[in-house]
Structure 1
């Protein structure tokens, strides 16, 4: 992934909670395979409507040249990881409606994050590190 200082929605950036990064790795011949995940927030736009999203990112690579330092979340994120599927959205707020869980406590936790996030668009949400993208540098 690539960490960018500037938010550009076209780059499909993610804000991540570094403390939630988990993963494991193993040898794959003379290479290393890594599989992990991290909690994330992101903005997306559809039909001219901006949406704030909460969920997780699956992180993996089957072809790393050397092991990752799993104690350094930024080093893990900076590796050549595959994220072609984007985030697994668990909740989304568009300013008028919520999509996601029907569990009231989880929905309330999501909205406590998503409402201020969308209201402060495109600011980086407090407590999250970003903006991270899987897209190549321009």
Structure 2
């Protein structure tokens, strides 16, 4: 991923919480694998409407990164996009089943995010794209 200087919806950008990088290095196999996730928010078009999404970016990497920027720089395969946990379109909220209990926390971020697009929410740095 690379950091963009401005927001362009066509680049499918993500804003990330750099302090949220978590993961573990699994060295039990022949090749060590770092399984990492980082919290992210993004805008997308869904059924013709702009929506705000919250979730995570994830990747399997061959070594543990020193920091979140290194993790993002190595994150090169954007085919699956972000793992969406919640989405707000201005009228209704959708969530992945396992994250229904986080609705209030998601809405505290998604409501102002959609209202102030394309600004990044507090605590998130953006915009990053593949």
CA distance in 1, matches of 2:89, 2:52: 6
Specify the alignment match of 2:49 in structure 1. 49
Taking structure 1 as the reference length, what is the TM-score of the superposition?
Answer: 0.79
Change in CA separation of 1:80 and 1:116 when aligned onto 2, cut-off 3 Å = closer
CA distance in 1, matches of 2:15, 2:8: 12
CA distance in 1, matches of 2:114, 2:75: 30
1:81-100 → structure 2 map (5 Å cutoff) = 81-100=76-95
- Contiguous gaps of at least 5 residues in structure 2: none
Shift >4 Å, 4+ stretches = 25-29, 101-105
- Contiguous gaps of at least 5 residues in structure 1: none
Taking structure 2 as the reference length, what is the TM-score of the superposition?
Answer: 0.83
State how many pairs are aligned.
128
Specify the alignment match of 2:17 in structure 1. 17
Greater fraction of residues in helix: 2
